[in-house]
Structure 1
Amino acid sequence: MERRKESAIWRYFTVATPARSTAVCNICKTEVSRGGSSTATYNTTNLIKHLRKHHVKEHAEFEQATSSKGAGGTAQQQLTLSESLQRREKYPANSVKATKITEKIMECIVLDGEPLSLVERTGFRRLIEFLESRYTIPSRKYFTETALPELYKRVRDHIAKQIKDVTAMSFTTDIWSSDVCPMSLLSLTVHWLDTSCTPHSAMLQAKNFHGSHTGETISAAIKQMLDQWRIPLCNVHVILTDNARNMKRAMAILGVRNLGCFAHTIQLVVDEGLLSQRSVSEVLACCRQIVGHFKHSNLAYSRLQDIQMQMQMEPKRLQQDVKTRWNSTYIMVQSLLEQKRALCAYIADHDDLPSTLTANQWALMEKTSIVLAPFEELTRKVSSSTASTADVIPAVTVLRRLLAREGDEDTGIKTMKRTLLQALERRFITLEDKPLYTYSTLLDPRYKDRYFTNPDTAKYAKEALLKELQEGDCRTTAITAEASEAAEPLEKAPRMETAAPSSKSSLMKEFDQILEESDDPGAATSSGPAVEQLHAYFAEKTIATSDNPYQYWGVNRQRLPGLTAAVTKYLCAPCTSVESERLFSTVSDILNDKRNRLTAERAEMLVFTKKNLPLLLCIEDS
């Protein structure tokens, strides 16, 4: 019955019952055989022949209806035997359908970090066979030597098109050495702002790096990568690296501006100012022994878990730290403090712990946690994908104020805070003398000139920024009389309000306190398009620290075109090399113990497409 309802022939014939072997013509009332010997084999061939032979007009209507419904209607003409057989045939390898399925499988392998051997696995092949029986999965060799290079080229062409007309780009770079094979990779990641001031980033290369890691070899390798992407050195705004001497020397040889990773410098501050203290280091050594015991003993962990449940605490594992990452040490201390009651109960019942903490040591841990909390929050803030060099001066200013302030709650931690403050001052003593930091801070509508510790520094920085605008380094030549007339009046832009969180940390409260204490900027002492835009910008109130500065400039780019040109240059630079570290985390997932025979070229293709394919898919899926 379902098939009869779908066919247009039943407009002209009627069947008394589904099992009846004949149909009655509605026009001439003739009974026509339906063919076949049972309901399962009945067809409409004889009915169509009858209509064609005896009712030409109606047959023409039937043909027209069948043609239109076959192109997009709900009913289609019954398949012929040859058509049915054709539907059982496999797709040709070069057919559109087969090509698309192969592309999606390759994208799946790349995005999910699956090995190329996935296409040989029985379960996956059975799944594809069930979903599309006419498709034949190509060999692993095809995916390795053909599909992957084609996808790599497609993604590479897209990235090249995106950065083709960008005149100010920032980069992060780092070197990674594999633990499972003799391979080192030198990465290069690009960051830029588009014409609407939206930030973007993309991995350019993870190049196999042979030989000694000297400044000369690193410089030559980076220059080669830039040349392959046709990026002139004049378009390189800054390159972010770690604080290693060979990296700094490489940037000096290359002749580009270089900044050290802010997160790495904070690591050095915490190490020098706090974690190196004997009393603290001894406590941390005990903490590592305790956490290590539970990590390597299932029996001990089961006992601790039973105690947690008896105390109606959420069962949690203790976190082990990595000595090279101070924030992991903070997380370890926090996890121990959260489980203090359970640990004390465990110690009372069991004596298998390699080390225990005294009451004084528990108190020292609590004080250490309080002191490190703003550093941990700040590290998370500057490690986000939208953080820029504009965040550095305000962050250091806030930390200085928090560490220098004394209160009743600082009992027992004053020495810690003083030592950290000294390390902070020593590491960032020349921070406000660096134009890359000062200009970007001034151009961030959340900060402007409110976070400089020396008023003269802010004054000189604004004068230098104005001079650069007037000299045309930031394309102020685009500010013509015609553009000025077309732009909106230089009025104060409305503040971009966001819903404030119900409770703020001490760090965020300090950011807001500095804004409240800041004085309004004075009047401009000279005139001109650049001066008027600069003064109008500084005359406005800062936006909330939780707002998006890039969104602000996207809205105001027509009103402040000269400043927006400077923004695309100075706010495209991140303040950490976290993107390179995240990149190498992806490499570690791809190049592991089970896949340690991948060539450097193949590994680079896989990590390149995995990191950048989402940029292409967003365009294709929109």
Structure 2
Amino acid sequence: MKKAMDNMGVRSLGCFAHTLQLVVNEGLLSQRSVSDAVASCQHIVGHFKHSPLAYSRLHDIQIQMQMQPKRLQQDVRTRWNSTYFMIDSLLEQRRALGAYVADHGLPTTLTVNQWTLLEKTMTVLAPFEELTRKVSSSTASAADVIPAVTVLRRILAKENEADSGIKTMKTTLLQAVNKRFSTVEDEPLYALATLLDPRYKDRYFTGADSTKHVKDILTQELQEADLRSSTAIMHQASEASEPAEKAPRLEAAAAAPPPPPSKSSFMEEFDQILEEHEDPGEASSSSTAVQVHTFFTERTIATSDNPYQYWGVNRHRFPDLAATAIKYLCAPCTSVESERLFSTASNIVDEKRNRLTPERAEMLVFMRKNLPLLLRLVQAVQRHLLQS
């Protein structure tokens, strides 16, 4: 995929969720005590997954203990949060598993120390799980990466009384985060997307130098866009002002060369960072500089709001910034949504529908993924017609 992007001359980013997977594996699951406890969890869940009789017995025990019947979660090696959910399901069924072991036995059991270690591991991984869900949504963009990393670093570096016994875990994870995301603010795609997101702006950069650097990049980008726009307007004006009698005849025009083609706690930490930052910058006399100054001095919108709706409403106030925001906010930060698209195609073209033509399959996939958007568009048109 990297080679394809390079051959097309398209700037690309790695999958943020995949890098987060490497952080957890390197920072936490590489610890011997944690990996041994997780391996025991995998053996326990595997025992029930491969034995319907064992699951039936566990189900009966859950009913006898007046617990909600629930199947244990199996983890997947390539998805660290599946390990999180596996540990969570085991902790939830701890009493039922204890009763099962007393009567039937298991291939392996967890010691008291291991149960305690798993509880602490869940506490440490909770922000990572929330972050994974956030960046895996269909609306997540490259703008979510820098704020998420900043918040994650602050949570892991913060010490409190509840950290007893998990300080080493948090320190190890913090080191892994700093190693894997050390250059995230130097990547222009991440930096400009964050800067142009009205939920974040310049509030989540870790240093004044990095903030100034990315603002300089934004200024240069706006100047180049303004120059291209001015050139296009002048070209159109010169064509419109040319007298009709001086226009070349059809034969001459045919010979002329063609013109070139147009070229939670987690969220609380977000809010706390916003409260700590203010931008008192000074306005300049140019129109673009005024737009930039006004945009950054205004309050950010809520993190739950939609940045695309913001730019749709404010594109008349900040036309230059809106055009640049459209360019950078469209970049996703993970490959999750594209994998969902592949799953949609595999659900449509299966063994019982294997004679679909490529054109028909593409139409069905398009309808499946875009039907909610099309319905909202139809409803908006209907409301507009009723109001008019």
Sort the TM-score into its range (normalised by shorter chain): 0.7 to 0.9
Q: What secondary structure sits across from 1:472 in the alignment?
A: helix
Larger C-alpha radius of gyration, 1 or 2? 1
Contact 2:26–2:176 (8 Å) recurs in 1? yes
User: CA offsets per residue over residues 567-620 of structure 1, 9 Å max, x none?
Assistant: 111111111111210011112323445456767666555434533455556656
What corresponds to 1:237 in structure 2? Answer: none
Q: What secondary structure sits across from 2:13 in the alignment?
A: strand
| 1:269 pairs with 2:27 | no
Contact 1:476–1:562 (8 Å) recurs in 2? no
Q: 1:298 aligns with which of 47, 52, 74?
A: 52
Amino acid at match of 1:520: D
CA 296–598 in structure 1, closer or farther in 2 if over 3 Å, else same: farther
Question: Shift of the alpha carbon at 1:300?
Answer: 1.8
Contact 1:308–1:314 (8 Å) recurs in 2? yes
| 1:517 pairs with 2:279 | no
Q: 1:282 aligns with which of 13, 22, 36?
A: 36
What corresponds to 2:93 in structure 1? Answer: 339
Q: 2:340 aligns with which of 582, 585, 595?
A: 582
Q: 2:195 aligns with which of 414, 423, 442?
A: 442
Amino acid at match of 2:296: F
Give the Cα separation in 2 of the matches to 1:399 and 1:277: 20
Q: TM-score, normalised by structure 2?
A: 0.84
Give the Cα separation in 2 of the matches to 1:513 and 1:545: 12
Question: Shift of the alpha carbon at 1:467?
Answer: 2.1
Contact 1:392–1:437 (8 Å) recurs in 2? yes
User: CA offsets per residue over residues 61-104 of structure 1, 9 Å max, x none?
Assistant: xxxxxxxxxxxxxxxxxxxxxxxxxxxxxxxxxxxxxxxxxxxx
What corresponds to 2:297 in structure 1? Answer: 539
CA 349–555 in structure 1, closer or farther in 2 if over 3 Å, else same: same
Question: Shift of the alpha carbon at 1:277?
Answer: 2.2
CA 453–620 in structure 1, closer or farther in 2 if over 3 Å, else same: closer
Give the Cα separation in 2 of the matches to 1:440 and 1:365: 37
User: CA offsets per residue over residues 198-222 of structure 1, 9 Å max, x none?
Assistant: xxxxxxxxxxxxxxxxxxxxxxxxx
User: CA offsets per residue over residues 109-161 of structure 1, 9 Å max, x none?
Assistant: xxxxxxxxxxxxxxxxxxxxxxxxxxxxxxxxxxxxxxxxxxxxxxxxxxxxx
Contact 1:474–1:562 (8 Å) recurs in 2? no
CA 312–571 in structure 1, closer or farther in 2 if over 3 Å, else same: same
What corresponds to 1:472 in structure 2? Answer: 225
| 1:568 pairs with 2:326 | yes
Question: Shift of the alpha carbon at 1:253?
Answer: 2.2
Give the Cα separation in 2 of the matches to 1:323 and 1:593: 27
Give the Cα separation in 2 of the matches to 1:432 and 1:336: 38
Q: 2:124 aligns with which of 371, 392, 400?
A: 371
Contact 1:397–1:453 (8 Å) recurs in 2? yes
CA 595–474 in structure 1, closer or farther in 2 if over 3 Å, else same: farther
Amino acid at match of 1:326: W
Give the Cα separation in 2 of the matches to 1:473 and 1:360: 64
Unaligned 5+ segments in structure 2 are 234-263, 383-388
CA 417–477 in structure 1, closer or farther in 2 if over 3 Å, else same: farther
CA 309–263 in structure 1, closer or farther in 2 if over 3 Å, else same: same
Contact 2:137–2:337 (8 Å) recurs in 1? no
Amino acid at match of 2:271: D
Contact 2:145–2:333 (8 Å) recurs in 1? yes
What corresponds to 1:552 in structure 2? Answer: 310
CA 604–298 in structure 1, closer or farther in 2 if over 3 Å, else same: same
After superposition, where does 1:127-146 map in structure 2 within 5 Å?
Answer: none
What corresponds to 2:107 in structure 1? Answer: 354
Question: Shift of the alpha carbon at 1:549?
Answer: 1.6
After superposition, where does 1:419-438 map in structure 2 within 5 Å?
Answer: 419-438=172-191
Give the Cα separation in 1 of the matches to 2:352 and 2:91: 38
What corresponds to 1:28 in structure 2? Answer: none
Give the Cα separation in 1 of the matches to 2:353 and 2:347: 9
Q: Which moved more, 1:388-397 or 1:463-472?
A: 463-472
Contact 1:474–1:566 (8 Å) recurs in 2? no
CA 474–515 in structure 1, closer or farther in 2 if over 3 Å, else same: farther
Contact 1:400–1:421 (8 Å) recurs in 2? yes
Give the Cα separation in 2 of the matches to 1:604 and 1:467: 40
What corresponds to 1:392 in structure 2? Answer: 145
Amino acid at match of 2:307: P
Give the Cα separation in 2 of the matches to 1:515 and 1:615: 32
Contact 2:191–2:214 (8 Å) recurs in 1? yes
Give the Cα separation in 1 of the matches to 2:4 and 2:226: 26
Q: 1:315 aligns with which of 50, 57, 69?
A: 69
Question: Shift of the alpha carbon at 1:470?
Answer: 2.1
Question: Shift of the alpha carbon at 1:322?
Answer: 0.8
Give the Cα separation in 1 of the matches to 2:227 and 2:345: 37
CA 332–544 in structure 1, closer or farther in 2 if over 3 Å, else same: same
Q: What secondary structure sits across from 1:259 in the alignment?
A: coil
User: CA offsets per residue over residues 329-361 of structure 1, 9 Å max, x none?
Assistant: 11111111111111112212222x111111111
Q: Which moved more, 1:266-275 or 1:289-298?
A: 289-298
Amino acid at match of 2:149: V
Give the Cα separation in 1 of the matches to 2:45 and 2:222: 56
Give the Cα separation in 1 of the matches to 2:125 and 2:228: 43
CA 426–299 in structure 1, closer or farther in 2 if over 3 Å, else same: same
Give the Cα separation in 2 of the matches to 1:275 and 1:430: 24
Question: Shift of the alpha carbon at 1:296?
Answer: 2.4
Give the Cα separation in 1 of the matches to 2:81 and 2:227: 38
Higher helix share: 2
CA 309–509 in structure 1, closer or farther in 2 if over 3 Å, else same: same
Contact 2:146–2:185 (8 Å) recurs in 1? yes
Q: Which moved more, 1:515-524 or 1:611-620?
A: 611-620
Q: 1:463 aligns with which of 192, 216, 221?
A: 216
The alignment covers a number of residue pairs equal to: 350
